[in-house]
Chains A and B, each alone.
Chain A
Amino acid sequence: MSHEHVSNTRRIWFVFILLSVVTTVEVILGIFKPASLEFNHFIGLNLLNWIFYILTIFKAYYIVWAFMHMEGEKSSLRWSVVSPVIFLVLYLLFILLTEGHYIYGVFKDSTIKWNF
């Protein structure tokens, strides 16, 4: 936490409003599911899901940076916390999702019925 003890109540409320607005947008999109977003794909993921993931990371950034006050820490701490998570998670997701997709193909093309 930063060592000058100034109150940043205003920033806290600003971030709260920001997070609430983003959540509301997500819920509205989730309820209406605009077809133009849902059925257009970009790199294997439809645009609606892209928006959801981007907004989620946007919220995560504000929670970590403002609420957990990462912005007040030294950059050495910031990097040693954030970079392992980001790289390991990307690696994990790449492997798991690729394999999941592969197994889907195996089931689909196999001559044995597995769920009927």
Chain B
Amino acid sequence: MERIFAMTCRRTSAAVLVLLLTSLWLGGASAAENRSVLRDSTYARSVLANNPSSFAWFAFLALCSPLDGSAPKLFETWRPSSEVYLKNGNRPLPWGDTPSIPSQAQAYAMREGIPSSTIWHNLDSYVQVDGLPLKDDFMRNVRYELYMNEDALSYVLEKQVYNANGQAALTANLSFPETAYELKTSWIWIESGDEKAYAELSPHYFIAHAYYETETGYNIGRAALTGMHIISKIQPNWVWVTFENDKNGDYTKASYELPIPPSAVQANQTHQSALKAQGSIFANYRLNGVQLDFNSPKRLANSQIESAFQSDSSCITCHSVAASKAQPSFEWFSVVDADGGGIQYYTGMPPDKKLEGWTRLDFVWSLRRAQWSR
């Protein structure tokens, strides 16, 4: 009886907490107060233990704050991986120093009257981990950008693994701090001047200014956020969360194929309703699920990020094979399970036998972007 009472109290407290925090965020409380899930690991773990979907939503809301139309959103202030793993393996700027955007983007911003405080997104990749692109309905590739928070960046700098030389010199496995976060975002590209696409997408999607490198310079435009992976080190095997836009099936060539668990469905109803009532664009985003362990659940995917292999996708297992070795020549472990003459991806328990002799990178695959000091 006491246990039931305690559990009931906890659930009630959690529900109250959800409502309180949601109203605080939507009410425009300060960023510092609203980001305790991102900063306070103990608090985050307690929310996670109570309801993983709540944790996921708290993190997402914090990252997308302020939730009204004002900018920048918190996640936009985190360090993109393009500014961590630099060409020629140079040391990245420390946290707090803002990398500059290409001069072509600066010139564009001046011409178009875009405030200099605007954060630009470098959507530097368009290939998913299975080697395939995802097309949107405008016949362009969906593009991606990765980010890490301050504590993740600090660890990368401390361990000097921002370049391949540093990773090749590792003598022990990596272990990021419990306050580390990484994000992977997916975007529909909006060509400069394509007001028709903007008009179609802006009622449903968060839109940001963006660019990407081409063979001849940079393409400058805007982009619509279609999905966001969030990973948190509040537990040793990290916590794996993914959100995507409800309209992705209408504007890209992929839609979500896996079932959304009941707890996520309920959390989505709660939070999306509240966001809709406040007119926030983030009402259009939903949680697909949370992975806490290798079989909990066995599969999780984002239609924008694991489009073609959703039924063979396990965020945690695929990231568990993040590893490298220096001999006989430096390389990173393969994400492909080629046993049996096919192409498949690791799900369930990690292939620990295959990883013997490899240096583990603590689930952080962005490290594979590291370049050599030349």
| Chains A and B come from one and the same complex | no
